[in-house]
Amino acid sequence: MHTRNDCVALDARDALAPLRAHFDLPEGVIYLDGNSLGARPKSALTRAEDVIVREWGTGLIRSWNSAGWFELPKRLGDRLAPLIGAHDGEVVVTDTTSINIFKALAAAVRIQAQNPSRSERRVLVTERSNFPTDVYMAQGLAGWLGRGYALRLVDSTADLRAAIDADTAVVMLTHVNYRTGYQHDMAALSAHAHAQGALIMWDLAHSAGAVPVDLHAHGADFAVGCTYKYLNGGPGAPAFIWVPKRHQAEFEQPLSGWWGHSEPFAMLPTFVPAQGIGRALCGTQPMLSLALVECGLDVFAHTSMEALRIKSLALSDLFIDLVEAHCGDQQLGLVTPRAHARRGSHVSFTHPHGYAVMKALIDRGVIGDYREPAIMRFGLTPLYTRFVDVWDAVDILKQTLCEQAYEIAAVRDAVT
Ligand SMILES: *Cc1c(COP(=O)(O)O)cnc(C)c1O
């Protein structure tokens, strides 16, 4: 079993260790929540100042052209594309994940409805355990469409394949589950969906920047995801949407705002969708927030998703081993798969007082988070998490549990 010194030695020979210097992390904190809000790239501060003082203050309205504001959703999309196996001109960074889910799902439904051999399909399939906003957006769309459109919520991964059938119009899955860290087999499920005549959309919220993703090779039809989690774009940073070239001409989404128009400044009274990925845009974007997404993406240019994956798995293996060795007598239950191929980049344990324990850990400087029911999540982000951080975090977890140093009746904060 690893000692603390072993972990120090692992850090000393870790080729990715220098990447931590790109981030500003507070002293005395072990940050294991990059799966929910990525840490701040140091460069974000100077970039924000530049956007505020020079681009906005001095450039004023001219900056839409001179500072490249108008093109920024596409330019950042091209920079993000290699991390998810997408090509240039297929990704835009824009809006929120929830809104992009709506756009992609609505466009996919429309493509199916216009195909004579598939137009009778009315079922959208997802998992009941999917992130709530994904389920809610699909419910909202199905209800709004009416005409028999319905959402089929599948209760277990084992039942998923059978639930994708000849009635299925669109399958919408989250690649890495936000609670359990379970990673779907994207290639197999995409192939199955296609064999059944369905289209498949993948939510990469917990995948982009966390695990290698190859959307083209794995046969995805559409994808969306966050930039404020593993991509370190900043709180509330705009999300992304991927529409591969093969679907772009038929991709028509209902949020047909002027940024998605083929000639936005022709100010025409009729909507004509832009050629290409531009049609996935809607309206004016928050430039300050959008600009900072690039600071997060810049860090990824120093490494590869393959190298990050190797370290991520080493961190999560170490975390699981240490928790089981040091806290094995506690009421912890591992919910994250042990199989590497099925694991994302966070590890979750249940505990009957999970919320209280997590609150106590945060008070002691170990920041993870809590998700109902009874799940403590620990994000292992290889860009800035050290092996020794994992050791220290488990040590503090052990002390907290052994001393029962948590307030069982802890009052819930608005954000857990
Ligand atoms: C984090 C997350 C979201 C967040 O959606 P927002 O619109 O940014 O609030 C959506 N889906 C999944 C799967 C997530 O993990």
- Judge whether 208 and 79 are in contact, CB under 8 Å: no
pLDDT exceeds 90 at position 275: yes
**95 C-beta closer than 6 A to ligand 1:** no
**226 C-beta closer than 6 A to ligand 1:** yes
Per-residue pLDDT tens over the stretch 373-391 = 999 999 999 999 999 999 9
**98 C-beta closer than 6 A to ligand 1:** yes
Q: What does the block give as tokens for 287?
A: 């430039």
Looking at per-residue pLDDT, the higher value among 46 and 415 belongs to: 46
For the structural domain made of 68-301, what CATH number should be given?
A: 3.40.640.10
Domain with CATH 3.40.640.10 in the chain: 68-301
- Edge-to-edge strands, sheet with 150-154: 91-93, 240-242, 222-225, 199-203, 168-174, 123-127, 150-154
- Judge whether 242 and 236 are in contact, CB under 8 Å: no
391 in a labelled binding site: no
222 in a labelled binding site: no
**203 C-beta closer than 6 A to ligand 1:** yes
Whole-number Å distance, alpha carbon 388 to ligand 1 midpoint, is 30
What pLDDT, on the 0 to 100 scale, is given for residue 158?
Answer: 94
Per-residue pLDDT tens over the stretch 217-250 = 999 999 999 999 999 999 999 999 999 999 999 9
Local confidence band at 14 (pLDDT 50, 70, 90 cut-offs): very high
**377 C-beta closer than 6 A to ligand 1:** no
206 in a labelled binding site: yes
For the CA of 239, the closest atom of ligand 1 is 8
Average pLDDT, the chain: 97
Per-residue pLDDT tens over the stretch 252-268 = 999 999 999 999 999 99
- Judge whether 203 and 173 are in contact, CB under 8 Å: yes
Whole-number Å distance, alpha carbon 95 to ligand 1 midpoint, is 12
Mean pLDDT of 167-193: 98
Mean pLDDT of 37-41: 98
Q: What are phi and psi of 85, to 5 degrees?
A: 75, 30
For the CA of 206, the closest atom of ligand 1 is 15
Residues tagged active-site: 131, 203, 228-229, 377
What pLDDT, on the 0 to 100 scale, is given for residue 411?
Answer: 85
Q: How far apart are CA 245 and CA 398, in angstroms?
A: 51
**131 C-beta closer than 6 A to ligand 1:** yes
Q: What does the block give as tokens for 239?
A: 């999300």
How would you classify the pairing of strands 168-174 and 123-127? parallel
Local confidence band at 416 (pLDDT 50, 70, 90 cut-offs): confident
What pLDDT, on the 0 to 100 scale, is given for residue 164?
Answer: 98
Output the residue whose Cα is nearest ligand 1's atom 15.
Answer: 205
What pLDDT, on the 0 to 100 scale, is given for residue 409?
Answer: 85
What pLDDT, on the 0 to 100 scale, is given for residue 92?
Answer: 99
96 in a labelled binding site: no
What pLDDT, on the 0 to 100 scale, is given for residue 298?
Answer: 98
The set of residues, in sequence order, having a beta carbon less than 8 Å from that of 340 and lying 6+ positions away, is: 313
The partner residues of 174 in beta bridges, in order of sequence, read 203
Whole-number Å distance, alpha carbon 224 to ligand 1 midpoint, is 9
Per-residue pLDDT tens over the stretch 63-111 = 999 999 999 999 999 999 999 999 999 999 999 999 999 999 999 999 9
Per-residue pLDDT tens over the stretch 316-373 = 999 999 999 999 999 999 999 999 999 999 999 999 999 999 999 999 999 999 999 9
Whole-number Å distance, alpha carbon 129 to ligand 1 midpoint, is 13
Whole-number Å distance, alpha carbon 167 to ligand 1 midpoint, is 27
Output the residue whose Cα is nearest ligand 1's atom 13.
Answer: 131
Domain with CATH 3.90.1150.10 in the chain: 4-42+304-403
Q: How far apart are CA 268 and CA 214, in angstroms?
A: 38
Query: HSE (CB half, 13 Å, CA atoms) of 312?
Result: 27
Mean pLDDT of 118-131: 98
Instruction: Work out the angle at residue 5's Cα, subtended by the Cα atoms of residues 3 and 7, and round it to the nearest 5 degrees.
Output: 75
What pLDDT, on the 0 to 100 scale, is given for residue 259?
Answer: 98
Local confidence band at 309 (pLDDT 50, 70, 90 cut-offs): very high
**pTM (2 d.p.):** 0.98
350 in a labelled binding site: no
- Of 71, 134, 69, which Cα lies nearest the Cα of 99? 134
**115 C-beta closer than 6 A to ligand 1:** no
Per-residue pLDDT tens over the stretch 155-179 = 999 999 999 999 999 999 999 999 9
To the question of domain 4-42+304-403 being in CATH 1.10.10.60, the answer is no
pLDDT exceeds 90 at position 410: no
Mean pLDDT of 281-305: 98
